[in-house]
A and B are shown apart, each in its own frame.
Chain A
Amino acid sequence: MSPALLPLLVIVPLLSAALLAVARHVEVLRRAVLLGVSAFALVFGTVLCFTSWDGVVTAHAVGLWPSGIAIPFVADMFSALMITVTALLTLLCSMFAIVSGDDRRPYFSALVLMLSAGVYGALLTGDLFNLFVFIEVMLLPSYGLIAVLGGRDRLPAGRLYVAMNLLTSTIFVAGVGLVYGTAGTVNIAELAGAAAESPAVAAAASVPLIALSVKAAVVPVHGWLTSTYPATSPALTALFSGLHTKVAVYAIYRIYAVVFDGGTAYTGLVLLVLSLTMLVGVFGAVGQESMRSILVFNMVSGIGYILLGVALFGPLGLMAGIFYLVHHMIVKASLLLSTGAVEVSYGTGRLGSVGGIARTEPLIAAAFMGSALSLAGIPPFSGFVGKVAIVKAAVDEQQIAIAVVAVVVSLFSLMSVLRIWRGVFWGRAHEDEVHAVSARRPGALLTHAPPALALPGLVLTVVTLGIGLGGQGLLVLSEQAAAGLLDVSGYIEAVIGS
């Protein structure tokens, strides 16, 4: 693919968002554009995966400015993989939102497209300041979405969400200033290895890393995530869980690998923090009383697993981390969409206030159970491969304690999702629920959730099963992505030479 096509991934969603902001009352157009653009990004990402095969890096100097001045857009296997998965999630969450009625809210489609443009831009850019700009492009529509959708807690949640993100963005941009002041450039390729050589650059570059860790919801700065995500609509929680924290994780991987060259000075401290992230997340999940709170706490725990990859570094660690990242994005979105389907159809997500969903909604129950087992790491789902790879990487680096924590946390995360199973899917349907459903839609049987609502979650469950059975496929892709992070010469050559 010609490198000059890379900016299309940002331009197309942005222009479509502008179009939909104007033509927002034409329902057919709105839905067609929303799904069409995400499908386009999915195809684009898949093509990028093919062109990035075997360490080929595609780079384009936006605006054809000379290199060093231009903002580079860079696609290697890691970013191509991320783009593909985010596009898939955006597509399925948009389908869910169309069925659940969220897309009838003013500007919903335009905001989602704008958000996805920011995500693709952040995944492609090779410039720290431009990364800040694209993260803001991603966040501003999210502020709007969180204030428009959701229950009565959405306003306090929106305030907290904006305040937290603005604070971290401010810290991030100040850190970019410090990097520029110490290294004289914010081009990631030109910064390669700079932090490993100069302590001043390392101190400066750690400021953006810390800001990104807050955005990724690493314990002890995870509180914003668990108190805002459950307050929005289910479709939005699934979308945000797939995109926001994961963009931060991607940026941490990229900056740490290229700028710090994978230095090991603080590995012990980082491993301690990540173990706490896994433990606190999963213990929080066990104690929650609604489906979405449980899943959101599990997400915090998952962030710990994902970042273990970059903390352990090395070919195996990075490969395991990237594999787990992809797996986690898919599985988490699947779980949130399945439980979201229940929530949308029955009007509540509290454990024990609905029951017998397994009998009345077999499709949703199957999708949920598959992904729940995958989250806990039970074969033949992708979670098993991901967790084995993480544990093996930890053992290879002689971090036995980390391996033990990872296994123990898996057991507790199984327990937390089984609580959802017992509290919502198992048991008998509540009499008053039956009445409530038939009162809302007279003549409807208890089924109640249209199959189209169950479909997005089911598709993702099939994907996680596929990745689990054919684990080698994604492992090879992750291995190549990890190789691109370990040996950054191809990345640098593509950017500086473009």
Chain B
Amino acid sequence: MSLALVVGVLVAGGTFLVLQRGMVRIAFGFVLLGHAANLVLLSAGGAARRGEPLLSIADLATAADPLPQAFVLTAIVIAFAITIYMLTLAGAGEGDDDTEDRR
């Protein structure tokens, strides 16, 4: 339940920021949306079992599902790269980062 609530709050905040005009705000909005997606991925593996998923030492009954963790790791790296790129786009060009001012 707490995961679902956090995802909801992140999506709400992210949606609000993405709908702003400034490119920096849009980039931050996507950071929030990306976190929300990562939490959805994590929750897909079940939030109840949280042991380290290391085969040699883990008890299989309590070990977390490692696959969603691998998904999230991949998604974080990609989202990080794109965030940097969006900030570059915000800084490029003349004047401020307003996306509606098309010149």
Give the interface of A toward B (CB within 8 A). Answer: 129, 132-133, 136, 140, 143-144, 147, 152-153, 155-156, 158-160, 162-163, 166-167, 169-171, 173-174, 176-178, 180-181
CB distance from B65 to the nearest CB of A (A): 9
Give the interface residue-count category, chain B: 20 to 34
CB distance from A244 to the nearest CB of B (A): 16
Q: Interface code B59-82, partner A: CB below 8 Å = 1, 0 otherwise?
A: 000000001100100110011011
CB distance from A147 to the nearest CB of B (A): 7
CB of A163 within 8 A of CB of B81, answer: no
Give CA–CA (A147, B41) in the complex, Å.
31
Give CA–CA (A147, B88) in the complex, Å.
11
CB of B75 within 8 A of CB of A163, answer: no
Within 8 A of A (CB), among B34-78: 34, 36-37, 40-45, 67-68, 71, 74-75, 78
CB distance from B100 to the nearest CB of A (A): 9
Give CA–CA (A75, B6) in the complex, Å.
40
Cβ contact of A174, chosen from B40, B67, B79, B103, cutoff 8 A: B40
Between-chain CB contacts (< 8 Å), 19 pairs:
A133-B74, A136-B78, A147-B89, A155-B92, A155-B93, A158-B89, A159-B26, A160-B99, A162-B86, A163-B86, A167-B18, A167-B33, A170-B79, A173-B41, A174-B36, A174-B40, A177-B42, A177-B44, A178-B40
Nearest-neighbor residue (CB-CB) of A147 within chain B: B89
CB distance from A66 to the nearest CB of B (A): 14
Asked if B85 is an interface residue, CB under 8 A from chain A, the answer is yes
CB distance from A187 to the nearest CB of B (A): 11
CB distance from A208 to the nearest CB of B (A): 12
Apart from A147-B92, A170-B36, what 5 extra A-B contacts exist at CB < 8 Å? A140-B81, A162-B86, A162-B89, A166-B86, A169-B78
CB distance from B93 to the nearest CB of A (A): 5
| A177 and B37 in contact, given A133-B74, A159-B23, A163-B26 (Cβ under 8 angstroms) | yes
CB of B33 within 8 A of CB of A180, answer: no
CB distance from B71 to the nearest CB of A (A): 6
Name the residue in B18, B68, B78 with the highest tally of chain A Cβ atoms < 10 Å from its Cβ: B78
Cβ contact of B71, chosen from A136, A143, A153, A177, cutoff 8 A: A177
List the A side residues contacting B82 at CB < 8 Å. 140, 143, 162, 166
Nearest-neighbor residue (CB-CB) of A139 within chain B: B82
List the B side residues contacting A167 at CB < 8 Å. 18, 30, 33
CB of B34 within 8 A of CB of A170, answer: yes
List the A side residues contacting B37 at CB < 8 Å. 170-171, 173-174, 177
| A180 and B89 in contact, given A166-B82, A174-B41 (Cβ under 8 angstroms) | no
List the B side residues contacting A162 at CB < 8 Å. 82, 85-86, 89
CB of A129 within 8 A of CB of B78, answer: no
CB of A129 within 8 A of CB of B89, answer: no
CB distance from B43 to the nearest CB of A (A): 7
| A180 and B68 in contact, given A143-B85, A163-B18 (Cβ under 8 angstroms) | yes
| A176 and B71 in contact, given A155-B93, A156-B99, A167-B30 (Cβ under 8 angstroms) | yes
Cβ contact of B44, chosen from A158, A160, A181, cutoff 8 A: A181
Give CA–CA (A143, B18) in the complex, Å.
18
CB distance from B37 to the nearest CB of A (A): 4
Give CA–CA (A155, B44) in the complex, Å.
37
List the A side residues contacting B33 at CB < 8 Å. 167, 170
Nearest-neighbor residue (CB-CB) of B92 within chain A: A155
Q: Which 5 A-B pairs have the closest CB atoms?
A: A181-B44, A177-B41, A174-B37, A177-B44, A180-B44
List the B side residues contacting A170 at CB < 8 Å. 30, 33-34, 36-37, 79
Give CA–CA (A169, B40) in the complex, Å.
14
Nearest-neighbor residue (CB-CB) of A136 within chain B: B78
Cβ contact of A180, chosen from B41, B79, B86, B93, cutoff 8 A: B41
Give CA–CA (A264, B74) in the complex, Å.
35
